[in-house]
Amino acid sequence: MSANGSTMRQLLWQDPVCSGWKQDLEGAVYHLANCFLLLGFMGGSGVYGCFYLFGFLGTGYVCCVMWGWFDACGLDIILWSFLLATACLFQLAYLVYRLRKNTLPEEFDLLYKTLCLPLQVPLQVYKEIVHCCEEQVFTLATEQTYAVEGETPINRLSLLLSGRVRVSQDGQFLHYIFPYQFMDSPEWESLQPSEEGVFQVTLTAETACSYISWPRKSLHLLLTKERYISRLFSALLGYDISEKLYALNDKLFAKFGLRFDIRLPSLYHVLGPAAPDTGPESEKDDEEVRESAMPTSAQQTPPRSPLPAASGPPAPPTRARMSRPDSGVLEVHDFTSYFPQSGFPGKVATGRGP
C-alpha cells in the first residue's frame, strides 16, 4: 500500500518521469486523426446522427493506424486503433441494414404518409398491415373490370392507389372511386366473416389503375388478433362509406328521380321515401275525415258578428301550403336477398320519372 501511495504522490506532485521531451511535432496524419475524432464526438442522436458519429470516428481511427504505422512505429497504437476503426465500420454496416430493413416500397411509403401518418399510426403497426397484403401492388388496364355484378365473389378488400374506377349497376353509372379510397368497403361491411357473397355492382377501371388487396381471411385474422388495427380499419371503412354516400347525393334529381347504389341500402332509412299522391279522390277523402272529426257543437254554433279591428297593424295573410310536385312513381325494392344476414336494412328507394 505504501508503494502505491508513493507512486500516486509522485505522479501528482512531482515532475514527470520523462527522460526528455521531443522537440519536433507529430506528423500531419496524427493531427488529421484528432480533427476527425473531434468532429465525430460532436455528432447528434438518431439514425443519421449515428451515421455522422461513427463515420467520423472510424475515419479518425484509420488515420491513427496510419500514424502508428508510419510515424510512431508502435504496435499497441496500431492494434488499438485498428480495433476501434473496425468497431465503427461494423456499427455503420448495422445502421445501413436497419435502414434497408425499415424502408418501404415507394407506393406503400406514399400510402403511409397520405393515409396513416395524419392519424399518427405507428410505423410498426403499418408494417403489420402491409405484411398482411404481402407488399403486392396489382394493376388494372383501362376498361378492365375489377368485379362483375352477380359473378365476382367477395373474398378480399382492396384500396385504390392510383387511377379512377367507375361503379355501375345494370349499366347505369353510380359514382367514381378515387385514389386512397376502398374499392369494396360496402361489400366488406355487408358480410360477416363466416358469410359469402358476390358483388351487386360492376367496377371498371376508367384509367390505368394500381391497387393493393388484402385477402379476406388473412385480414379477419389480423383484425381479431390486433385490436388497434381493428379500430383503425373500422374508422377508415366508416369514413370511406360516408364518402360514397356523399357521392351518391349527386344522383338526387328533381321530381324525385332517384338512383341509388344497392350496396348502400341504409339510404332507405336516411332519406325516407314519401308516400305518392293518389290524386283528387284521396284529397276529398281526407277532407271528409277532417269534417267528421269535428265536434257537432262546433257545427251547430251560429255565426258571430265580426270583432272590431285592432288598432295595431293587420296580421299577414296566411300563405296557402304549396302542394308537392308530382314525383312520379316512387318504388321500394326489397334487396334482402342481396344481404341475407347483414346488419343493413334490406330496402332501397328508387325513383322513376313520370
Q: Which of 81, 101, 121 is the last residue of a domain?
A: 101
Quick count: other Cβ atoms within 10 Å of Cβ 141?
10
pLDDT of 2:
59
**Winning range, highest mean pLDDT, from 3-7, 244-248, 322-326:** 244-248
Same domain, 51 and 153: no
The answer to whether residues 95 and 123 belong to one domain is no
Residues 222 and 145 in one domain: yes
Is 297 contained in some domain? no
- The pLDDT value given to residue 174: 85
Looking at residue 332, what is its pLDDT?
Answer: 38
The verdict on 144 and 121 lying in the same domain is yes
| Residues 56 and 141 placed together within one structural domain of the fold | no
In the structure, what pLDDT confidence band is assigned to residue 321 with cuts at 50, 70 and 90?
Answer: very low
In a domain, residue 115? The reply is yes
Q: Is residue 331's pLDDT more than 60? A: no
The tens digit of pLDDT for each residue in 66-89 reads 998 888 888 899 999 999 999 999
| 338 occurs within a structural domain | no
What is the rounded average pLDDT of the residues 339-354?
40
One domain, residues 130 and 66: no
H helix intervals, the chain: 2-13, 28-40, 46-67, 75-102, 106-111, 123-132, 185-190, 216-225, 227-248, 267-271, 280-293, 296-300
On whether residue 12 sits in a domain, the answer given is: no
Q: Judge whether 115 and 160 are in contact, CB under 8 Å.
A: no
Beginning with the edge strand found earlier in the chain, give each strand of the sheet holding 138-140 in spatial order. 138-140, 209-215, 156-162
* Beta strands 202-205 and 145-147, pairing class: antiparallel
CB-based contact 64:77 (threshold 8 Å): yes
Q: What is the pLDDT of residue 23?
A: 73
Looking at the fold, whether 67 and 114 belong to one and the same domain comes out as no
Same domain? 95 vs 126: no
> Does residue 88 lie in a domain region?
yes
Phi, psi for 198 (deg, rounded to 5): -125, 160
The Cα–Cα gap between 244 and 293 comes to 47
Q: Indicate whether 110 and 214 sit together in one domain.
A: yes
Identify whether residues 112 and 224 lie together within a single domain.
yes
Query: What is the DSSP code (8-state) at residue 226?
Result: -
Q: What is the CATH number of the domain that holds 119?
A: 2.60.120.10
Domain count, the chain: 2
Q: Choose the final residue of a domain: 205, 230, 255.
A: 230
Pairing of strands 165-169, 156-162: unpaired
- The boundaries of the domain holding residue 68 are 26-101
Under the banding of pLDDT at 50, 70 and 90, the label for residue 104 is confident
The reply to whether 118 and 45 lie within a common domain is no
Buried/exposed 319-352: b ≥16 CB within 10 Å, e otherwise: eeeeeeeebeebeeeebeebbeebebeebbbbbe
Is pLDDT larger for residue 72 or for residue 273?
A: 72
Q: What does the pLDDT read at residue 103?
A: 78
The verdict on residue 251 lying in a domain is no
41 within domain boundaries: yes
Total-model pTM: 0.54
**Domain shared by 226 and 110, yes or no:** yes
- Rounded to an integer, the average pLDDT of 152-176 is 91
Poorest-confidence range of 91-105, 244-258, 300-314? 300-314
Residue 204 has pLDDT above 60, yes or no: yes
> Would you say residue 91 lies in a domain?
yes
Domain boundary among 53, 77, 101: 101
Give me the sign of the Cα torsion angle 15, 17, 18, 19.
Answer: positive
